[in-house]
Structure 1
């Protein structure tokens, strides 16, 4: 038995494609203690952490601000004031190695006492 072809009673409307509603982006959350001027002061500096046998100390292009690990937690970071310039290798050693906590703290404290006057001089000149 032969059936009749399927036909629509009403014609199809022409579609213009998917209509997307505009997506509103939220402003980034302000982190307490975020001071870009302290991070900018680390740019172009030498490594101050200087773990033994880890970096070349001078002229390393991978220098970034390394924040103090004491007082941080999941989703938390200490104030940018407590950061020192560190090369990639020293920063990774400080953050991710199995070195005991006392050695890491002593190294950071030593670096910070040397960096703080240099940063104050650099920021005073700006």
Structure 2
């Protein structure tokens, strides 16, 4: 049985002195960073995303309200603890793939009605008609609650 020996270098490492960097190397690195910053700045100016803070007043108006969809809920005259803001599901309201509609196009809806609106098997036309009817009623109450003037549809 052969005994294994540790690896050994046959030639010693060559010693080298410290080398100074070339004078233009720093400038080339700086130019690359500047180009990256310009590209990042161009990307930032593409599109401003809507934040929750911008529509928080509309979302806050839905708190403590009763359901305005009135599709699946048993009662609609009391403030159900499951009531949340239901967003409009149309492209014209700003809805898209991975995008939620504008907070201005919300109305309070209970959990069951909200589920019917978003995942229900009802035809799209029926869902939009129910949403429009509820939103027309909610718009008047929201304007009174928020102290806004009701804008007439042109």
Which TM-score applies when normalising by structure 1? Answer: 0.70
Which TM-score applies when normalising by structure 2? Answer: 0.58
Does 1:54 find its partner at 2:73? yes
Which segments of 5 or more consecutive residues in structure 1 lack a partner in the other structure? 1-28
Name the structure, 1 or 2, with higher relative contact order (CA <8 Å, separation 6+). 1
Q: 1:119 aligns with which of 142, 146, 154?
A: 142
Offset, 1:54: 3.1
Query: Greater helix share, 1 or 2?
Result: 2
Distance 2:64 2:79 in 1: 9
Which segments of 5 or more consecutive residues in structure 2 lack a partner in the other structure? 1-47, 149-154
CA deviation map 1:32-72 (0-9, x unaligned): 68410000000000000000x43321231110000001112
In structure 2, what is the equivalent of residue 91 of structure 1?
Answer: 114
Give the structure with higher Rg (CA). Answer: 2
In structure 2, what is the equivalent of residue 81 of structure 1?
Answer: 104
> Matched residue of 1:113: which SS?
helix
Question: Aligned runs of 1:1-126 on 2, under 5 Å?
Answer: 30-31=49-50, 34-51=54-71, 53-57=72-76, 58-71=78-91, 72-124=95-147
Runs of 4+ with deviation above 4 angstroms:
none
Count of matched residue pairs? 98
Distance 1:69 1:30 in 2: 18
Offset, 1:74: 1.6
